[in-house]
Amino acid sequence: MKKIAILNGPNLDRLGKREPEIYGRATLADLEKSLRAEFGKKAELDFFQSNHEGKLIDKISELADAKPDGIVLNAGALTHTSIALRDALLGAKLPAVEVHISNLYKREEFRHRSLTGPACVAVITGLGLEGYFAAVRFLLKS
């Protein structure tokens, strides 16, 4: 059975409450439940969320040693600012898929640039929560 880590960054603990017109009404717990229902027999899913850049980097370092089959990462706003997170992804040498719920290119211009995307094998943006499902499906096939 493949092992896939699903990492969520700042403010994603507020899903369902924060800007539901952009991110929807489902919570992070709802997403986890749905992903487990869909993929529970195909993959061992490890979920982690933090509002702190260093904790996400620590988690990626742990994963580099544990060697899961892949990472699904929604780094939130850190996508656009964190060279350290990018370096952690590159150093982990694990296939990662960057996911964004909203379409970054329909939002503010500063969101159009991803520092972490080039450290990933793919980037999915604008599919809502379905982007997580697409990312897991992709990693399962890899």
| Residues 83, 18 contacting (CB under 8 angstroms) | no
| Cα distance between residue 29 and residue 120, in whole Å | 25
Q: Provide the 3-class DSSP secondary structure of residue 40.
A: coil
Q: Single out the catalytic residue among 100, 105, 112, 132.
A: 100
Any catalytic annotation for residue 80? no
Q: Single out the catalytic residue among 23, 52, 105, 112.
A: 23
CA distances from 36 to 30, 39, 40, 118, 133 (A): 10, 5, 5, 28, 10
Any catalytic annotation for residue 23? yes
Token pair for 87: 């370096």
| Cα distance between residue 46 and residue 1, in whole Å | 13
| Cα distance between residue 126 and residue 5, in whole Å | 21
The residues annotated with a catalytic role in the active site are 23, 100
